[in-house]
C-alpha cells in the first residue's frame, strides 16, 4: 500500500514549520495504528511502521504462537507460524504483516486528521518553546485587531495578547500600527501557547532604558529598581561602580534626548531618574527628591522608614495624590511614612500636658513615658507595672503606684483623660507593592493589614527625638 502522497505532505509541513522528521513520522505511525485498530478490532495487538524507502505504511498484527487455536484474533497455530518464521516457538509472539489492509477512503481521512492534529500539537510545542525562552524580552509587532478590548499583536510566527490592563491609560491602536511591548509571560492553553505582553510593567521601562542607553547595555550602568504608575509617573534607580560616570546624567542624555525618547514611547509619562545607594536612608532621600528631608528614623525589623520633613516640604514629599511617596516606597522596598515634625512635636507636647495632671508625675517623668509610647492617662492606667518599671528604671511597687493613680484619675471628672484631638501627624504613608511593580528586592514588600497600628509604632519611635525638640 503506497501512501507516498501523505508522506510528502507531512514532510512539507515538517520542513515549513520546523517540526522534526521523527516527530512527523511518529505522527504517521500513530495515525495508522489507530486506524488499524478501528478496522480490524481492538482485541488484537497491532504495530504501524512507516517505510521511508518505498513510502509505505506497514501494518503488523501480533499473535501468540500456540498448539491449539482458541481465539484466531490473538492466536496462531504453531505449524502455521513456522511457515512464516522457522525460528518461532510455542509461547512466542509473532508479528504478521497485513499485506492488503484495504483501508477505505474514510479510514484514510481519519488517518489524515490524526496526522494533522499531531503536527499541530507539535507546532504548538515548538512555538511555546521558542517564545518561552523570550520571556522578559522586548518585542515588536503589528496590531492586527481588537478582541473584547484586548489588542492582538502579530509577532510574525504567532499572535500575542496585549490586554486592556497592560495598555497605558489613554493609548489607542489601529490595525497595522507598530507596537513595542514587554513579553511578560507565555502559558500553554487548550488552544495553544498564549503570549502575553505588557506596556505597563516596570520591566517595560527597564527595557526601554536598556535600548536607549548604551552604558546600560554594556553593563557599565546597572538598573537597581523601577516603579511606575503607568501613564503618570515613574521612578528608576541606577548605579555604577565607575566613579567617572554620572549614571543619572548618562540616562538623561544630551539635553535630555535619551529620556525624552522613552517619555514619548510612554505617552508623556514623567520619569524620575535617581541614584541608587546601598544605604536605604540615602536611597530614600534620593527617591523623595526634590523635597528636603529633616531626618529619617529606620525600623529594620518591620522594614519601615519614618521620614520627617518640615511643614513647607510636606506636599512636595508626598506628591500629587501621594504619588511621590508611593513610588519611593515601591522603589526602595520599604514602607515610607511622611511625618510633619511640627505636628508630631505638638502631639508630644499635648501628651506630656495630659500626664502631668497626675500629682505623681512631673514633666520630666511624663517626657520619659511619652517617649516610650504612653500618650495619656488612659494609656498609663492600662499599662503593666513591669513595663512601666523598666521604662522609668524604678521598682514594680513604685510603678504600680503610678498606674493606680492613673486609674483613680479616670474616675475624676475634673481631669482630662485623653489629649485633645489634633490633626493627624502622619501626613502620608505608602507600602511597596509588587502589583504596582517594584523590581528591587521585594521580600519585605507586603502591605500591612493594619496601617493604623503601624502609624502608632512610627510615633513611638520618634518620641525621644521630638521630645528633645520640645525641650529646646
CATH number at residue 176: 2.40.50.140
What is the rounded average pLDDT of the residues 27-35? 78
What's residue 349's pLDDT? 87
Those residues whose C-beta lies under 8 Å from the C-beta of residue 92, and which sit 6 or more positions away, are 64, 65, 81
Write the Ramachandran bin of 417: left for phi over 0, alpha for psi from -120 to 50, otherwise beta. alpha
Residue 444 maps to a domain: no
Q: What is the DSSP letter of 419?
A: P
Strand 222-229 and strand 233-239: pairing? antiparallel
Q: Do 39 and 94 lie in a common domain?
A: yes
DSSP at 197: E
Could you list the residue range(s) of the whole structural domain that residue 183 is in? 134-200
pLDDT above 90 covers a percentage of the chain that reads: 25
Q: Is residue 268 part of a domain?
A: no
- When pLDDT is averaged across residues 132-160 and rounded to a whole number, the result is 90
57 and 119 assigned to the same domain: yes
Model confidence over 266-277: pLDDT tens digits?
989 999 999 999
Is cis: bond before 84, omega within 30 of 0?
no
21 Cβ contact partners less than 8 Å away, ≥ 6 residues apart: 11, 14
Return the pLDDT at 383.
87
Residues of 303-334 as b/e, b for ≥16 C-beta within 10 angstroms?
Answer: bbbbbbbeeebbeebbbeeebbbbbbbbbbbb
Average pLDDT over residues 424-444: 48
Q: Is 105 among the domain residues?
A: yes
Residue 110 included in any domain: yes
How large is the average pLDDT for residues 331-355? Answer: 85
For 283, residues 6+ apart whose C-beta sits below 8 A from its C-beta are: 237, 274, 276, 277, 331, 332
* Residue 352: other Cβ atoms inside 10 A: 23
Alpha-carbon distance of 262 to 269, in angstroms, equals: 9
Query: Does residue 52 sit in the same domain as residue 159?
Result: no
What local confidence, expressed as pLDDT, does residue 429 receive?
Answer: 55
For residue 346, what is the DSSP state?
H
What's the CA gap between 283 and 395, in Å, rounded?
44
Task: Output the pLDDT for position 156.
Answer: 87
Spatial contact of 239 and 209, defined as CB atoms under 8 Å apart: no
Closest by CA position to 124, among listed 132, 113, 134? 132
Do 42 and 146 share a domain, yes or no?
no
Q: In 240-303, at which residue ranges do the beta strands (DSSP E only) sit?
A: 270-275, 295-299
Q: Mean pLDDT, to the nearest integer, of 234-250?
A: 93
Residue 103 reports pLDDT greater than 80: no
pLDDT of the residue at 451: 43
Q: Are residues 84 and 21 in the same domain?
A: yes
Please give the Cα distance from 385 to 400 (Å, whole number).
Answer: 5
Please check whether residues 57 and 151 belong to one and the same domain: no
Residue 69: other Cβ atoms inside 10 A: 16
Chain segment 368-402, per-residue pLDDT in tens: 888 887 888 888 888 888 888 888 888 888 889 88
- 457 and 363 within one domain: yes
Give the separation between CA 397 and CA 181, rounded to whole angstroms: 69
SS3 352: helix
Whether 289 has a pLDDT exceeding 80, the answer reads yes
Q: Is the pLDDT of residue 73 over 60?
A: yes
Residues 207, 213, 214, 218, CA torsion sign: negative
Give CA separation, 281 vs 118, 180, 307, 344, in Å: 59, 36, 9, 20
Residues 122 and 13 in one domain: yes
Note the residue count of the chain.
472
| Residue that finishes a domain, picked among 152, 185, 200 | 200
What's the confidence (pLDDT) of residue 54? 67
> Do 111 and 148 fall within a single domain?
no
Task: Decide if pLDDT at 348 tops 90.
Answer: no
Greater confidence (309 vs 192) lies with 309
192 and 141 within one domain = yes
Asked if residue 141 and residue 178 are part of one domain, the reply reads yes
Out of 200, 216, 231, a domain closes at 200
Looking at the structure of the chain, the number of domains it has is 3
Secondary structure element (H or E) that encloses residue 162, with its range: strand 159-162
Closest CA to 32 of 63, 10, 53, 65: 10
- 95 and 187 share one domain: no
Report the C-alpha gap between 402 and 362 in whole angstroms: 12
pLDDT of residue 454: 40
Amino acid at each position: 500500500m503506497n501512501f507516498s502522497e501523505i508522506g510528502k505532505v507531512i514532510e512539507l509541513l515538517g520542513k515549513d514549520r520546523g517540526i522534526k522528521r521523527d516527530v512527523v513520522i511518529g505522527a504517521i505511525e500513530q495515525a495508522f495504528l489507530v486506524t488499524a485498530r478501528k478496522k480490524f478490532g481492538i482485541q488484537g495487538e497491532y504495530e504501524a511502521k512507516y517505510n521511508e524507502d518505498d513510502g509505505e505504511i506497514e501494518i503488523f498484527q501480533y499473535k501468540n504462537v500456540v498448539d491449539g487455536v482458541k481465539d484466531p484474533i490473538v492466536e496462531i497455530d504453531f505449524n502455521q507460524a513456522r511457515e512464516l518464521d522457522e525460528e518461532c516457538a510455542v509461547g512466542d509472539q509473532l508479528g504478521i504483516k497485513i499485506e492488503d489492509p484495504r483501508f477505505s477512503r474514510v479510514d484514510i481521512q481519519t488517518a489524515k486528521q490524526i496526522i494533522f492534529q499531531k503536527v499541530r500539537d507539535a507546532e504548538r510545542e515548538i512555538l511555546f518553546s521558542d517564545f518561552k525562552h523570550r520571556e522578559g524580552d522586548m518585542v515588536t509587532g503589528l496590531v492586527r485587531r481588537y478582541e473584547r478590548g484586548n489588542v492582538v499583536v502579530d509577532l510574525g510566527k504567532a499572535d500575542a495578547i496585549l490586554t486592556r490592563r497592560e495598555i497605558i491609560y489613554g493609548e489607542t491602536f489601529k490595525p497595522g500600527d507598530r507596537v513595542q511591548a514587554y513579553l511578560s509571560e507565555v502559558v500553554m492553553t487548550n488552544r495553544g501557547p498564549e503570549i502575553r505582553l505588557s506596556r505597563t510593567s516596570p520591566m517595560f521601562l527597564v527595557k526601554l532604558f536598556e535600548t536607549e542607553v548604551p552604558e546600560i547595555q554594556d553593563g557599565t550602568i546597572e538598573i537597581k529598581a523601577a516603579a511606575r504608575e503607568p501613564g503618570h509617573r515613574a521612578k528608576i534607580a541606577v548605579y555604577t561602580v565607575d566613579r567617572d560616570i554620572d549614571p543619572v546624567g548618562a540616562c538623561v542624555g544630551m539635553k535630555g534626548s535619551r529620556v525624552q525618547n522613552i517619555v514619548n514611547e510612554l505617552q508623556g509619562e514623567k520619569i524620575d531618574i535617581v541614584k541608587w545607594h546601598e544605604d536605604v536612608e540615602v536611597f530614600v532621600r534620593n527617591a523623595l527628591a526634590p523635597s528636603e528631608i529633616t531626618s529619617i528614623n529606620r525600623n529594620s525589623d518591620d522594614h519601615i522608614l519614618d521620614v520627617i520633613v518640615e511643614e513647607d516640604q510636606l506636599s512636595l514629599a508626598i506628591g500629587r495624590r501621594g504619588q511621590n511617596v508611593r513610588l519611593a516606597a515601591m522603589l526602595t522596598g520599604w514602607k515610607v511614612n511622611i511625618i510633619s515634625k511640627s505636628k508630631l512635636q505638638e502631639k508630644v507636647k499635648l501628651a506630656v500636658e495630659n500626664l502631668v495632671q497626675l500629682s505623681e508625675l512631673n514633666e520630666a517623668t511624663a517626657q520619659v513615658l511619652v517617649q516610650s509610647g504612653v500618650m495619656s492617662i488612659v494609656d498609663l492606667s492600662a499599662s503593666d507595672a513591669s513595663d512601666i518599671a523598666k521604662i522609668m528604671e524604678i521598682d514594680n511597687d513604685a510603678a504600680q503606684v503610678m498606674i493606680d493613680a492613673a486609674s483613680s484619675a479616670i474616675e475624676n471628672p475634673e481631669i482630662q483623660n485623653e489629649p485633645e484631638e489634633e490633626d493627624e501627624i502622619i501626613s502620608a504613608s505608602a507600602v511597596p507593592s509588587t502589583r504596582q511593580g517594584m523590581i528591587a528586592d521585594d521580600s519585605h514588600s507586603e502591605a500591612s493589614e493594619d496601617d493604623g497600628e503601624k502609624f502608632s509604632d512610627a510615633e513611638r519611635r520618634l518620641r525621644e527625638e521630638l521630645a528633645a525638640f520640645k525641650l529646646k
